[in-house]
Amino acid sequence: MRTIRIGSGAGYSGDRIEPAVELAEKGDIQYLVFECLGERTVALAQQARMKNPEAGYDPLLEERMRAVLPVCGAKGIKIVTNMGAANPEAAARKTAEIAKSLGLSSLKIAAIVGDDVLDACKDGDLPIMEFDGTIKQLGNRLLSANAYLGAEPMAEALKSGADIVITGRASDPALFLAPMIHAFGWAMDDWNLLGQGTVAGHLLECAGQITGGYFADPGYKDVPDLARLGFPIGEVGEDGSLVITKVVGSGGAVTARTCKEQLLYEVHDPRQYFQPDVVADFSQVIIEEIGPDRVCVSGGRGHQRTETLKVSVGYVDSYIGEGQISYAGPGALARGRLALEIVRERLKVTGVESSELRFELVGVDSLHGAEISTRANEPYEVRVRVAGRTENLREAVRIGNEVETLYTNGPAAGGGAWKSARDVVAVASVLLPRDLAKPQVRFVGA
């Protein structure tokens, strides 16, 4: 039976660089996938592109490509990535330039365009899923609308001979599904195969999160050598069989436990994991350790895809102002609480307009709220944190200022004040009839 080995070279935009090089050099892989596009990243990238037509792709694209292209080029490892963000064609041109500078000008580089569906969403004035309202009601706060594309255009690019495929918004598992569809010729209505392939893609898409990252809990779940964490490899057979593994000798561990945690990561109803290409069913999945750092995953299924594509809508939501300051030693907790009360009163006295405020002590109750945190003993030091949502930057600035002025107006011995004020680009979702998104493959000459 034919099998392919797919490496996962990044789990988010800022991820470590060298594990991907290790995969390319020692992983015996044919495909290397980089998942680098967070929920709101496209919206931020769209803003960058509006300022500069050649910008709007992943800021680490150049560093990652320079690191892996020499070995990928030499070994014929194909790269699939969503580092194109809001500008896949510019990312492809940049990659071609890098390839040329490395003496790899024969590489074929494809950009997938067509995920930008802002106009179609405006025309349809589609309702927003997360809150009451429609696209048009966002008015000039609307920044971007990008559909989660499926694996087809990426598979088509691979079929046309692409060595590197760069897309913008696409479903994360689809980045992995595309090489499987290409290599094995899977039919786009073989729902069970596409479902099992989605299981593979979902397990691999967060890279180190399945090899021991986001997992260690000393004394309960120990993981060796997290500083040299190896990234995962999916060994996929043409019948959909799957083994998750990693480079021998790399840090971390692939176990049934790491695989179970990642299978359910960001999953709601396990029977219905909605993807552009299939509605995957994880409910019957079986996970078995078959060797050191080798885990067999079977039983993924699927149902017919839906007639809509999920669209991520970026919009300017609000502004957030924030301030922090620390207190330590005897009475730190009491002084921290006094500080919070002072700022609470000051925001009233000075009339700062906000729609939402948080007052908390980092180290005491900032993560799980006051109710869950009541059992804590008194800490040695506390950090006051006040954050508020406002309609404009001017009001946001005033929140941090009221924390900073605790230096000379607040409790004794406050130190290390810090403040910030920023605009908030948030994302919401709409469902777009799938025929309104028209993805295209565009090759860029290297």
Partner 1 sequence: MKLREIAHSRTGDKGNISNISVIAYDAKHYPLLREQVTSERVKAHFAGVVEGEVVRYELPNLSALNFVMTQALGGGVTRSLALDAHGKSLSSALLDLDIDPGSDDK
Q: How far is the CB of 290 from partner 1 (least distance, A)?
A: 16
Among residues 18, 63, 222, 269, the one that binds partner 1 under rule CB under 8 A: 269
DSSP-assigned states of every residue in 55-91: --S-TTHHHHHHHHHHHHHHHT-EEEE-TTTT-HHHH
What gap in Å lies between CA 54 and CA 272, rounded to an integer?
Answer: 39
35 or 322: CB nearest partner 1: 322
Which of positions 278-297 make contact with partner 1 (CB under 8 A)?
282-287
Q: What is the contact mask toward partner 1 in residues 330 to 369, using x (rule: CB under 8 A)?
A: --------------------------xxx-x-x---xxxx
Residue number, 220 or 408, with CB nearest to partner 1: 220
- Amino acid present at 294: R
How many Cβ atoms from other residues are within 10 Å of residue 248's Cβ? Answer: 10
Q: Which helix (H) or strand (E) holds 372?
A: helix 369-372
> In the complex with partner 1, which residue's Cβ is closer, 103 or 224?
224
Q: Select the residue interacting with partner 1 from 50, 370, 376, 413 (CB under 8 A).
A: 370
Smallest distance, Å, CB 330 to partner 1?
Answer: 25
* Residue 266 is a binding residue for partner 1 (CB under 8 A): yes
Site for partner 1 in 62-121 (CB under 8 A): none
Angle at 56 between CA 430 and CA 149, to 5 degrees: 40
**Cα separation of 237 and 222, whole Å?**
31
Min separation Cβ 110 and partner 1, Å: 29
Q: How far is the CB of 345 from partner 1 (least distance, A)?
A: 19
Piece of the chain touching partner 1 by CB under 8 A; list 18-26, 101-109, 155-163, 419-427: 419-427
- Residue written as token pair 């099998």: 3
Helix (H) or strand (E) holding 199: helix 191-204
CB of 130 to partner 1, least distance (A): 6
In whole angstroms, how close is the CB of 255 to partner 1 at the nearest point? 11
Report how far residue 201's alpha carbon sits from residue 265's, in angstroms, rounded to the nearest whole number. Answer: 12
Please give the Cα distance from 336 to 378 (Å, whole number).
Answer: 12
Task: Tell me the closest approach of the beta carbon of residue 246 to partner 1, in angstroms.
Answer: 19
Give least dist CB 162 to partner 1, A: 31
378 counts as binding partner 1 under rule CB under 8 A: no
* 132 interacts with partner 1 by CB under 8 A: no
CB 50 within 8 A of CB 425: no
Residue in 2, 132, 220, 227 binding partner 1, rule: CB under 8 A: 220
Closest distance of CB 248 from partner 1, Å: 25
How many chain residues touch partner 1 (CB under 8 A)?
54
User: Applying CB under 8 A, does 260 fall inside the site for partner 1?
Assistant: yes
Q: Does 270 bind partner 1 (CB under 8 A)?
A: yes
How many CB atoms neighbour CB 39 within 10 A?
Answer: 12
First to last CA, the chain: 35
> Per-residue DSSP letters for 387-419?
EEEESSHHHHHHHHHHHHTHHHHSSTT-EEEEE
Q: For the chain, count helices (H), then strands (E).
A: 13, 18
Are 22 and 250 spatial neighbours (Cβ–Cβ below 8 Å)? yes
Among 144, 171, 262, 275, binds partner 1 (CB under 8 A): 262
User: Distance between CA 407 and CA 370 in Å, rounded?
Assistant: 25
> C-beta of 285: minimal distance to partner 1 in Å?
6
Closest alpha carbon to 242 in 294, 277, 188, 191: 294
Note whether 302 and 327 are within 8 A (CB): no
Nearer Cβ to partner 1 (22/360)? 360
How far apart are the C-alpha atoms of 212 and 128, rounded to whole Å? Answer: 37
Interface with partner 1 (CB under 8 A), residue from 139, 351, 371, 377: 371
Q: How many CB atoms lie within 10 A of CB 117?
A: 26
Among 385, 400, 402, 432, binds partner 1 (CB under 8 A): 385
Instruction: Tokens for 74, please give them.
Output: 């030499």
Instruction: Give the interface with partner 1 as residue ranges (CB under 8 A).
Output: 39-40, 130, 214-215, 217, 220-221, 257, 260-271, 282-287, 299, 317-318, 320, 322, 356-358, 360, 362, 366-372, 385, 387-389, 424-429
